[in-house]
Amino acid sequence: GGLVGMVELARQPYPCHPSPKRPYLYNLCVAPSHRGKGVGSLLMWRCEEQTRQWGYSELFLHVEHQDTQQLYAGKGFHVSYSEPTFFQLQLQGRAVVPSGEGRRGGWMIMTK
């Protein structure tokens, strides 16, 4: 057996509200051979459990593509912030705005 899926969960500042830190789910991926078998749902469930163990009632993530947004919406997440024109990151105190090449729409923050 090999790696079939992974996810990262960390306590980070919520964008536009630098403190306090909140649980942030990112880099959820499942091997193509194991998609549709509940691996992603299990990883998300485990992140939700860890979030509760940390004493939080909210979990946030960034979504760029509509199909991914629909996946998370089906798991109970809702859009709490949307930026339709550009993608902005904070990197060492400087705003970085990528060219947007290959991106459709914009991005949004979803919470549960």
- What is the per-residue pLDDT for 98? 43
Query: Is 80 within 8 Å of 72 (Cβ atoms)?
Result: no
54-95 confidence digits (pLDDT tens): 998 888 888 777 777 888 888 888 887 776 543 344 443 444
Q: What residues make up the domain containing 52?
A: 5-111
CATH code assigned at 32 = 3.40.630.30
Residue 107: pLDDT above 70?
Answer: no
- In the block, tokens 């024109």 appear at 85
Return d(Cα 23, Cα 4) in angstroms, integer.
Answer: 23
Into how many domains does the chain fold? 1
Mean pLDDT, to the nearest integer, of 28-51?
93
- 0.85 exceeded by the pTM? no
